[in-house]
Structure 1
C-alpha cells in the first residue's frame, strides 16, 4: 500500500516526476510538481482558517481539481457540493456537516506558513453525503486508507499507470467521479476532466480524440448517449479501456459501444457504494465475447466479500470485510458497521447477491425489496436484461414488491418501442420463466433520474396488483379473450380493458381478424373501440341497435357528464383517445377522417372536414357549452370548429390543442424564431413518389390493410393541413407541446388570443395522448368539465404561461398516424 495518506502519496509522485502532467481541464493543464507545490502552500493557509470540514462548490475547472487536492493535503475533511444540486440541498449539507463553505477560487488563492499536521490512515479525508435507498441524508466518513485502497484497486484491476491519460466524464461532486480523480492522481496518471452536464455532450467525441485519451469513465446512461451521437467512422486510436459505474449495465450497452467505437478497448463495469468503495470489477477484455448478463464481477483487492445465510440457490446478504471500507457514518445508521479486529471492519450491505461458478459476484437487488414467486427468488436484473433485448427498448428498470395479496413485479421501460407493451410482453414470455414475468409493463417517455444521474426508483410508482378477474363466457366472448391473450401475452378477464394492459389500435385490428376467422362475426374498430373487452366485443357482435353515428365518429364511453369532442390526427383512428376516455369523467366522442374506417371519399380541405364534423356534433349536442380537444391535425380542426361554433353564437367553454405542428404557411411572421432543422433528407425515387400519390388520391375508395390505410390517410391529412392559414381566435385555450416539437410556443399567442396556457411536456408527439399528459388534460376540470366563469371567458388576452419542462430538444420527423 503506497503510503499512510493521500498527501504522502502525492508528495512521492511529485518528487519522482515533477514535470509529468497531472490535470487537464478546460484548456488548462498543470504538472504534478506545480500542483503539489501550490496545493501545499494553499493548504497551509487553509488550516490557519480552522479545522472544520471544508464544503467545496464544485464546477468543471482546473481550479476545482486543484482545490480538491489542496483540501486533501490540508487534512481538513472535504465535503463536495455538486454544481447541479438545488441550493437548499447544498445548504442542508453544509449545515449538517458543520462545514466552512468555499469556492474553488477562494481555496486556491489561499497561502500561509502554518505547519500541516501528520495524517494517519484512519483520519477522515472525505465526508460523502448520500441519501441512500431511504431518502434520509447520510454522511459517510471516508478515511485516508479507503482512497489509498481505491487507487490500488484501479492499478490492479484496470492496469492504470503513469502512461495513461484518464478521461473522466463523471461529476467530481459524487463518489464515482471522485474515485476517478483520486485513482488517476495517486497512480501518477494524467487526469482529463469533462463534465457534460455543464459543458454539453456535443464535444465529448472531440475531447476523447484531441487528448488521445487511453481510458474513458462514464455512467451507463452517458455511455449510451456518447455511443448514439458518435459521428466518426474510425474508432479512437488510443482508447484501451471504457468503464461505467453508478447503475446497472447490460450486454447491449457494451455491444453498442463496440459497434460505434470499435472493439479495440476493454470494458469494465464497477460496482460499489459509498460505504464499501469499490466492491467488484466486471471486465470484458478487448475482442472478448460479451456475456449475456454482466455480473458485478471479481471483488476488489484487499476486500473479503462473502454471502451471509445463503438460501438453496446461494443467494444471501452481501457482507464486506476489509481495512479499506468507510470508517462509518457521521449521520445515519451506525449498526451496519462493526469491528472485526483493530484494523478490519465488517459492513453489512443490505444487498442480496450470490457467487457464480467462476467466482464472480452477482447482485440481486435490495434485501428489503426481495420477493419470491412460487418459491423462486425474483431477480430484477435478469428481467431488466431480457426487457432490454426487446425491440425499441433502450432502458429498463424492474421493481419487485411484496403485498398482502402476493408479489407484484413492475417493469418500467423507455425507448422508441416502449409503448408497444403487448410486443414487450410477448418477448418476455419467450425469454423468461413464467414465474419471473412482470405483473406490469409500464411504458415511460424517459426514466426519472436523481441529481447524481441514477434512476430515481423512489419516483417509479408500482401499479396495484391486478384484481382477480372473471373468466370469459363461451362463444364470441371466449374467442375475444383468447385473441387478446395471444395479442397481449397475458390472460385477460371478460370485463378487463385490453388497452390498459398494453393493447393498441393495430392490435385490436388483429384481434378482430382472429375473431372473424374463428366465429364468422365481422366487426370494425369503430364498433368496439368504446369497449374492447371480451364482453364488450361480444356485446357489439350481438347488438342490433348501435348508436346512430357516422362512420367517422365514435363514442368512447360515458353515458353522462359533460361531452368532449376529440379530433383525431391524420391517419389516427378513434382509439387514439382511449386513454382520454378512461381518465375523463364524462362522455368522449372521437372524430376521425371520413373514409378511414369505412369506404368513403375523404374531405380535401379543412373547411370540408369542419362542416362534416359540425353536422355530427349538432345531431348529438345541439347546444353548448362545447369542449374540444384535438391532436396534431385534429388541433387545427378543433380550432376551426371552435371558430364556426362561435360564429353561430354558441359557447365554446374550452379548447385543448395537443402537439399540433404548425405548417410552414401558418407560422406567424416576425417572431424572430425559426424552427429547429435537421439534416437534409433526399427525395424518394420518382416511382415511389408516383406510388404514394396514387395511394393518397384513392384514399377511402380502395380499402387497404390497416397499417397501410393509416399511412395513406396520414399522407392525405398532412396535405390538407399544409394548406391551413390560421386567423386569430378568442376562446379559452390550452396548448400542449411535446419535447420534440420545434415550434416556438409563443407563435400560438398570435393564433389563440383568448386566455391561454401553454405547457411543454416531456415525451414525443404520440406520448401526449397517454399518461401522464392525457390524464392532466382529462382532470383539468376548469378546461373540460366545468363551464368557465363569464368574467374569465371575456377577459382580454393575457401573456401566455409557458411551463418549460427539462427536456432535450431534437429535430422532428412526424411518422405514423397523427
Structure 2
C-alpha cells in the first residue's frame, strides 16, 4: 500500500498532521536516502529531519504555537525547505519575506501580518528594525538536533500554511492567506493525476514567496523523490539550466514559457542530448502555440501541461495537456478544472454564461485561499459569499468555454499584467511612483513586444525631478519585476472626460516617448565594445548613449543581465561572471570587465 492508498492518512481532517506524517514516513523508510541536491552538496532525509527538528524546537522555545505566523527570510533552496518543514512540525505558518524583496516592501508585510517571530540566516539578517524573537536557520546546528513537541492534531484546513504577497492597486503589497488544506489539496491532485515514476527528480527554483512554491518544496520530498535545487545563476542561464537538467537527470520541472524557450534553444544546440524529462508544467504566463509545437517535436516523450490559477486560489485550478493541442490552434487553452476546483464563467451579475460567451472566470471549492490579510478594500468584492453559503472568487480574468468544455483565457477586466511570470497591477506601480519626491503624476503602460512584457512609465513632475533618482527610489520600494523598464518625463498625462487616466492615449504617449531615445550616440571602440553595444541594443531596443549609462537604469533587469552575458560569450568568447556585471552595470564597467577577462 502506498501513502496515497491510505485513507486514514490522507483524509482532509488534519492536513498539517498529514504533511508532517508523510515526511516522517519517508525518513523512517530510508533516512540515508538523498533528499535534496544543491550547489554540489547532498542532504539526506535524516539530515533534513534533524535540521528541521532543531528549527521546530527553537520556534517552540521562543513561544511559537500552532496557528501562529512566523516571518521567513532565508535563501531559496535547502534552507527554505528545512525551515518550512520546521514550521509544519511546530504547527505554524509563514509570512514569505524573500530576501530579494526591497526592505521597505518587507517592512510593509511585517507591519500588516504581525508575525510573532522570525526565521532568518546570519548573513541575511538585514530585515527592517523589529523586536521579534529570532530563530536562526543556518546549518551550524545540524547534527545536534533538538526534538520538538508534537502539536495536537486538532488543526483543520483553515489554519494558515503561508501568507504570500501579490500586486494590488494601492502601492502596497496585498497579502493572501493560504490554508494547510488548500496546500495539501494541490499536492494530492498532482500525486494522483501525475504520479512520479521510479527514478524521478524534481527541479526546485521558485521563490517561497510564490503561491506555487509548496509543490516544488514538498511535492517530491513527501513522496520520497529526489529534489534538485538550483542557484539563481543556474536558473537564469540557459546553458547552466540545461547542464543541471541533464547532469542531475531531472524529470519534473515547473518553468515559465521564457525558461522553456531557453531550455529548448540549448537542447537544440546539443543534438545528441537526451534528457530524462517526463513532465513540464507552465502556468505563470501565456503559453505560445508555436512553443508547444516546438516542445512536442524536441521532447515527444514528455508531457507539457498548461496550468491556470492565481494566488487567491492556492495555485492551480485548471490544466490542459498540450498533447491534445490541434495543429491549427490559435491559442493554448488552460483546460478543465483540477484539484476539486469549481470553475465557472459569469456575467457582471455573477450569472453563468453559455458556452462560447465571454465572461469573468470565477473559482470555488477546495483550492480557494482563506482571503486577504487584514481589511483589504476589495476583499468582499473578490471573495463573494453566495446565497448557498459558498464562497466564489472573482479572478478578474476574462474567459470562455470552448465547445469541448475547455477553458480559454482571453484577457483581463482590470489593468493587471504578467511581467516575467509575476502578476502586476499597473495602479500599484503608479501609486509607488506618485509617492516619489518631485513627481506630480504618473501613468504606466505595459508594452507586449515579441519577448517579455515591458513596463513603460510616463511621469510628470517638478523641475527637480531626475529620472535616475526616481529609478533608485523605486528599486528601494518595489520588487525588481515591478520597476518600469523605461521611465519618460512628460509635460502632462492624458485624462478622459471623468478626469481619470486615459490608458488608450497613454499607450500612444508612451510610444511617442520611446522614439527619441532610440538614437544611438556612443561610438564603440574596438571589437569588444562593438559586440557589447550590439548586444545592449538587441536586448534594450536601443544602444548605449554614453559610457556611464547603467544597463539597469536603461531598462535592464536580472534576467536580461544573464541574457547579455550569454550573448557576449557567443559573440566574443569571453565568459563574464554575473557578479562582476552586477557590481558595475554601466557600459564602461562591463566593457572594462570584458577587456580584463579577454586579456587573461
What does the per-residue CA deviation read over 1:483-525, in whole Å, with 9 as the maximum and x for residues that have no partner? xxxxxxxxxxxxx9xx9799xxxxxxxxxxxxxxxxxxxxxxx
2:158 alignment partner, SS class: coil
Say which of 25, 36, 45 aligns to 2:58: 45
- Shift of residue 246 of structure 1? 1.3
Q: Give runs of aligned pairs for residues 144-159 of structure 1, distance below 5 A.
A: 144-159=180-195
How far, CA to CA, are the matches of 2:539 and 2:37 in structure 1?
A: 42
Could you say which residue in structure 2 is the equivalent of 1:81?
Answer: 97
Tell me by how many angstroms 1:219 deviates. 1.6
Shift of 1:244: 1.6
- Deviation, 1:194, is 1.2
Q: Does 1:183 align with 2:219?
A: yes
2:371/2:383 contact within 8 Å kept: yes
- The structural deviation recorded for 1:175 is 2.0
Q: CA-to-partner distance for each residue in 1:166-193, whole Å, 9 max, x for gaps?
A: 1133333322333322322344432222
CA distance in 2, matches of 1:21, 1:209: 18
Instruction: Measure the CA separation in 2 of the matches of 1:31 and 1:286.
Output: 39
Distance 1:95 1:739, change over 3 A: farther
1:185-213: CA deviation from partner (whole Å, max 9, x where unpaired): 34443222214357752321111111111
Within 5 A, what are the aligned runs for 1:368-447?
368=414, 412-414=448-450
1:538-577 matches, within 5 Å, as none
Cα deviation code 1:423-477 (max 9, x no counterpart): xxxxxxxxxxxxxxxxxxxxxxxxx99987868799899x999x9xxxxxxxxxx
**Are the aligned partners of 1:303 and 1:322 in contact in 2 as well (CA < 8 Å)?**
yes
Q: Does 2:577 match 1:803?
A: no
Shift, 1:43, TM fit: 0.8
CA distance in 2, matches of 1:161, 1:326: 30
1:23: which partner in 2?
36
Give how far 1:147 is off.
Answer: 0.5
| Conserved? CA contact 1:306–1:319, under 8 Å | yes
- Residue matched to 1:225: 262
Q: 1:316 aligns with which of 347, 359, 373?
A: 359
> Runs of 5+ in structure 1 lacking a partner?
371-379, 382-393, 402-408, 419-447, 468-495, 503-577, 584-629, 632-657, 665-674, 679-736, 741-761, 778-799
Deviations 1:23-82 (A, max 9, x none): 222223334344335423431221221234222223244223211211222122112222
Q: 1:182 to 1:415 in 2, by over 3 A?
A: closer
Change in CA separation of 1:75 and 1:766 when aligned onto 2, cut-off 3 Å:
closer
The corresponding residue for 2:466 is none
Aligned to 1:5: 15
Contact 2:60–2:148 (8 Å) recurs in 1: no
Are 2:77 and 2:205, in contact at CA under 8 Å, matched by a contact in 1?
Answer: no
Compared CA separation, residues 62 and 412, structure 1 to 2 (3 A): closer
Query: Contact between 1:24 and 1:30, CA under 8 Å: does it hold in 2?
Result: yes
Is the 8 Å Cα contact of residues 234 and 241 (structure 2) preserved in structure 1?
A: no
Map 1:348-387; keep pairs closer than 5 Å.
348-368=394-414
Tell me, yes or no, if the aligned pair for 2:261 and 2:291 is still in contact at 8 Å. yes
| Total equivalences in the alignment | 460
Q: Aligned pair 1:14/2:24, yes or no?
A: yes
**Aligned equivalent of 1:70:** 86
C-alpha contact (below 8 Å) 2:53/2:148 kept by paired residues: no
1:117 and 1:763, CA in 2 relative to 1: closer, same or farther beyond 3 A? farther
> Distance in 2 between the 1:663 and 1:227 partners?
33
Match of 2:146 among 111, 122, 125: 111
- For residues 410 and 236 of structure 1, what CA distance do their matches in structure 2 show? 38
Aligned pair 1:209/2:246, yes or no?
A: yes
Which structure has the greater CA radius of gyration? 1
Q: How does 1:117-136 map to 2 (within 5 A)?
A: 117-118=152-153, 119-132=155-168, 135-136=171-172
Structure 1 residues 61 and 183 mapped into 2: Cα distance closer, same or farther (>3 Å)?
closer
Residue from 646, 661, 665 that aligns with 2:524: 661
1:297 is aligned to 335
**Contact (CA 8 Å) 2:162, 2:179: kept in 1 or not?**
yes
The answer to whether the 8 Å contact 1:279/1:299 transfers is: yes
Change (3 A) 1:289 1:196: farther
Q: Residues of 2 paired with 1:357 and 1:457: CA distance?
A: 40
Match of 2:49 among 14, 36, 45: 36
Cα deviation 1:670-690 (Å, max 9, x = unaligned): xxxxx3899xxxxxxxxxxxx
Superposed CA deviations along residues 638-694 of structure 1, whole A, max 9, x for unmatched, are: xxxxxxxxxxxxxxxxxxxx2322136xxxxxxxxxx3899xxxxxxxxxxxxxxxx
What displacement does 1:216 show? 1.7
1:345 aligns with 2:362: no
Indicate the SS of the match to 2:82. helix
Alignment partners' CA distance in 2, 1:253 and 1:29? 34
Displacement, 1:330?
1.2
Q: Which residue of 1 aligns with 2:537?
A: 763
Shift of 1:355: 1.1
Q: Determine the structure 1 residue equivalent to 2:278.
A: 240
Call closer, same or farther: CA 1:342–1:103 in 2, change over 3 Å.
Answer: farther
Asked if 1:283 is matched to 2:296, the reply is no
Partners of 2:80 and 2:186 in 1: CA distance: 21
Rounded Cα–Cα distance in structure 2 between residues aligned with 1:342 and 1:164 = 43
What is the deviation of 1:273?
0.8
CA distance in structure 2 between the partners assigned to 1:120 and 1:29 by the alignment: 34
RCO (CA 8 Å, sep 6+): is it higher in 1 or 2? Answer: 2
Who is 2:458 aligned against? none
3-state SS, counterpart of residue 92 of structure 2: coil
Distance, in Å, in 1 between the alignment partners of 2:530 and 2:537 is 19
The CA distance in 2 between the partners of 1:766 and 1:273, in whole Å, is 30
In structure 1, C-alpha distance between the alignment counterparts of 2:245 and 2:486, rounded to whole Å: 34
Aligned residues of 1:55 and 1:94 also touching (Cα < 8 A):
yes
CA distance 1:241–1:251, change in 2 (3 Å): same
TM-score normalized by the length of structure 1: 0.49
Secondary structure, aligned partner of 1:763: helix
1:345 is displaced (CA, Å) by 3.3
Question: Please, which of 115, 118, 143 is the counterpart of residue 101 of structure 1?
Answer: 118
Query: How far did residue 117 of structure 1 move?
Result: 4.1
Structure 1 range deviating more: 220-229 or 161-170 = 161-170
Give 1:326 shift: 0.9
Structure 2 gaps, min length 5 = 1-6, 123-135, 428-444, 455-473, 497-507, 573-600
Task: Please say if residues 317 and 367 of structure 2, whose CA atoms lie closer than 8 Å, have aligned partners that are also in contact.
Answer: no
2:233 and 2:240 in contact (8 A); partners too: no
Give the direction of change, closer, same or farther, for the CA distance of 1:454–1:117 in structure 2 (3 Å limit): farther
Deviation at 1:268, TM superposition (A): 1.0
Matches of 1:117 and 1:13, distance apart in 2: 17
